[in-house]
Structure 1
Amino acid sequence: GTFLLVLVQHTEADYIIPDFEANWHQANEHCFSIGKRLAITDSLERHNAVVNEIKNSPAFNNVSTHIWFGASDLGKEGTFYWHATGKKVTFINWRWDNPDNENNVEHCVSLLSVPSEKWDWHANDQSCDRMHHFVCEDFRTLLGIVVPLKK
């Protein structure tokens, strides 16, 4: 029989930055508990959207802002994945000197804005137990619906 495959994809993200700090694991758990996930910034467009959201939140200050988002190399040192999807990180806004796994304890990724130290919304690997604000996002999976066509 003939059928029609309908693909539905929602690409707009809806972000929430809770008004408290957490370690990276707690941040993950909190996002999942409210039906969201730690933000994924796998394109310049999504990176900029997350940065704009942070700048408009109480978590932002113009001296030093550290925000957890959803990448880590907890599974294999030096290979970063998006926690919520299991996909390998191909785009991320690392600073020139990162990731550096300083003291062999940095496995979770935060976004940093520290103008005095030339951190301009770059990604930084940090110890997962550091306490930071974090960004949760809505997510939609690619949904395939097969619709049979009558002859």
Structure 2
Amino acid sequence: MLKFATYFSFAFLSLGLYGSVAEGQGEGRSVCLLHDPPNQCGEFCLEALKPMLDHIAFHQKEWIACGTQNETQTKLDKIEDYLLKLQESLEKKEATWKNIIDRLEKQLTDLQEPQSKAKNSVLSFLFQRIGGRLFYIENAIRRTWNESEESCRTMGGHLATIQNNVELTAIVEKLERSTSYWLGVTDVVKEGEFVSVASGKPTSFFKWRSGQPNNLHGNDHCVDIYNGDMYDSECKEPEFYICEALG
């Protein structure tokens, strides 16, 4: 602390001396200008002023750094403002697109309703109500089991899976005698496990002919009905078929 005070005193003295010399110049007296500070002032004088000069230099760096920070903060503020405006713009666009999507979905629903009605109309024309469900009985063209299932899907259904004895009796009354009709039941995935093609689940109702299913020659994997009894038969055989409507 004492050393700093000494340095400060020397600095003050030097500044006072410089001021006196400068004033003397105005009065016509000789002036001592420091053209060569180390020789004219002496190393001791410079050493006394050095701490103050270093202190000023240090603060000059701080001031410069502070100015840089202010510039950086200004840039960050501008970026933040831009991002906020961008977010606001995106939110408005999102709301606009949501409104457009809602309108398109409504229009699609409006278009689907007539198609659904038309489909139901076609189903009611092709299918007939037997018991509590809609069925289509093909009595004109014989197809393989796979072809029959594809035809039923084209009409909006599947090969039929008969659910109970009452339904079986009602359907058999519509069928031609001594004629085979494909049903929508198969054990093609695993022998002996008969599954409904409409639901993908095991079938619970059967009315097998005596000795059936027998998987003759290891090729019988599709179920058909003949004179009211069920058989497992070779899927590639062409037969008439029965479809059920979906739902």
- Which TM-score band (shorter chain)? 0.7 to 0.9
1:43 is aligned, of 151, 164, 170, to 164
User: In 2, distance between residues paired with 1:53 and 1:139?
Assistant: 20
Quote the residue 1:72 is aligned against.
Answer: 186
| Superposition RMSD in Å | 1.3
User: In 2, distance between residues paired with 1:69 and 1:49?
Assistant: 15
> With structure 2 as the length reference, what TM-score do the two structures score?
0.45
Q: Secondary structure at the match of 1:21?
A: strand
- Partner AA of 2:244 in structure 1: E
Q: Spell out, residue by residue over 1:27-77, the C-alpha distance to the aligned partner (whole angstroms, 9 max, x if none).
A: 0000011101111112112212221222xxxxx1x4x21010110001100
User: In 2, distance between residues paired with 1:135 and 1:92?
Assistant: 16
User: Matched residue pairs, number?
Assistant: 116
1:15-34 to 2 correspondences below 5 Å: 15-18=135-138, 19-34=140-155
- Kindly, what percent of the aligned residue pairs are identical? 28
Does the alignment pair 1:90 with 2:204? yes
Q: Spell out, residue by residue over 1:112-144, the C-alpha distance to the aligned partner (whole angstroms, 9 max, x if none).
A: 12xxxxxxx11000000001000112131xxxx
Q: Any unmatched runs of 5+ in structure 1? A: 1-10, 55-59, 114-120, 141-151
8 A Cα contact 1:13 1:139, kept in partner:
no
Query: Which contiguous aligned blocks of 4+ residues in structure 1 show a shift greater than 2 angstroms?
Result: none
Structure with greater proportional strand content: 1
Which structure has the greater CA radius of gyration? 2
Cα offset for 1:84? 1.2
Q: Any unmatched runs of 5+ in structure 2? A: 1-130
> With structure 1 as the length reference, what TM-score do the two structures score?
0.72
User: In 1, distance between residues paired with 2:201 and 2:171?
Assistant: 19
Does the alignment pair 1:126 with 2:233? yes
